[in-house]
Amino acid sequence: MKDWNEKCAVVGIYNAYNASILSYYSLFSMQHRGQEASGISSSNGEKISTYKNSGLVTKVFDENTLKKLQGNSSIGHNRYSTAGEDSIDDCQPIFAKYSLGELAIVHNGNLTNAKKVRKNLIEDGAIFQSHLDTENLIHLIAKSHKHQLVDRITDAINQIEGAYALIFLSRTKMFAVRDKYGLRPLSLGKITNPDGSVGYIVASETCAFDLIGAEYVRDVEPGEMLVFEGAYSKHITMPKSIKIFAANPKPCIFEYVYFARPDSKVFGRNVYEIRKKMGIELAKEHKIKADMVIPVPDSGVAAAIGYSRESGIPFELGIIRNHYVGRTFIEPTQSARELKVKLKLNPIAEIIEGKEIIIIDDSIVRGTTSKQIIKILRQAGAKKIHLFISSPPTISPCYYGVDTPDKSQLICANHSIEEVRDFIGADSLAFLSLQGLKNSIQNAGEEKFCQACFDENYIEDLQE
């Protein structure tokens, strides 16, 4: 599955040795959530230092840049643009000096009233340095007449709408906030320092905790602000919890389908196990005889394992992915698009030739990538190809922090399943039902998810 991009990743480290290095490793573990730019701000209790640039985490930072980011508290960000333009000014963290001191902010999500807020701020004299909706918050905080930073942040939060997982870093404190719907994930973990003292981490995914040896504590609740303080007075305590809004949880269901790393715990549940259950549900809903089940790597692997186990059809890694393909300097012609797929995915003809196969992928967006995958499998000698998708048809774009094509480019929004099957060239095409997707999520009960990409039921008060 291609053409979906969430995204960003955020991390905050508080009261931990070499905080910027821990942020670096955390961002490295969440590289899948954004590859366009990376940045870290750190505080030593007296000043905030920031470094950010375009590129992957390992390209942006080296030993020298990390040494300059001193202090035991830091925040970091991996960017994939969902709003704004691509320039160094649009990298995060956003940093500013204001009447109470210094402040840095990182944000995952999308503010649906950003244009309106920005327009009002500009008319009131604000000067913007970036295209980021996140910069609105700097101005709202700076203009607030509250005397405490926590109150200024609350004041600013009450003026924005949309999806957000936000982390704020001042010289001595850190604040983590989720919107009342909890659309974007944000988890809290505990760090044990070498001297036995305690620090904390908040991050978009718990795979960041695993890499640095942090212990998962809980998710930041929808509508909650966590206030971290005391690091520089050596009286660190559990972060204070402030309820800014009454929670109305509607977490993004697509985190389970595609975005999150399978080894992460998102919204309190393990992603790998859920994706495997999606494959099990898919096998229950769509029974067919075939010689083997093959995943589209890497996003279709867990669901293919589940399908294989439920159906009894053997699982094979019939397609090998090249993980080292970056951006290619190729003109966007049809032949170039075909070459791009071949650069990334190569079928094993010796396994596929003469066989009837079920290939599992997580979703179809435009259909062009699926079409090329079917083509290379035909060329490898597959006798019959059944493409099964471990999510429902994607029929609507997202406005809550996910970069999706316009509805006119979503193939399932404009064509029947049979028409899509004809376009991609498969012998059959099937999707997991929305109920099957919900059944896959452990202990879901009556829990409500944002699933607007599948049913067009957008959150009413978050319309753009």
Query: In angstroms, rounded to a whole number, what is the distance separating the alpha carbons of residues 3 and 1?
Result: 7
Looking up tokens 């969430």 gives: 6
Catalytically annotated residue among 8, 252, 412, 453: 8
What's the 3-state SS for 250-312?
CCECHHHHHHCCCCCEECCEEHHHHHHHHHHHHHHHCCCCCCEEEECCCCCHHHHHHHHHHHC
Residue 262, classified by CB atoms within 10 Å of its CB into exposed (0-12), middle (13-18) or buried (19+), is middle
Q: Give the distance between the most distant pair of CA atoms in the chain.
A: 73
The H or E element that residue 178 is part of is strand 174-178
Q: Give the CA distances from residue 381 to residues 206, 319, 347, 375, in Å, rounded to whole numbers and listed in that order.
A: 41, 13, 10, 10
**Cis peptide before 263, with omega less than 30 degrees from 0?**
no
- Beta-carbon contacts of 227 under 8 Å, excluding residues fewer than 6 positions away, are 150, 173, 174, 175, 239, 240, 241, 242
User: 464 is written with which tokens?
Assistant: 């753009």
Question: Which runs of E-coded beta strand occur in 69-214?
Answer: 73-79, 94-98, 101-111, 162-169, 174-178, 187-192, 198-203
Identify any residues that bridge with 201 across adjacent strands, giving them in sequence order.
13, 189
φ/ψ of residue 353, rounded to 5: -55, 125
The pairing of strands 48-54 and 37-43 is antiparallel
Contact between 373 and 366 (Cβ < 8 Å): no
Closest CA to 368 of 335, 330, 321: 335
Residues shown for the chain: 464
The pairing of strands 269-270 and 265-266 is antiparallel
Query: In angstroms, rounded to a whole number, what is the distance separating the alpha carbons of residues 86 and 54?
Result: 9
Query: In angstroms, rounded to a whole number, what is the distance separating the alpha carbons of residues 277 and 441?
Result: 8
The H or E element that residue 68 is part of is helix 63-68
Catalytic residue check, 252: no
User: 150 is written with which tokens?
Assistant: 């926590």
Annotated catalytic residues are 8
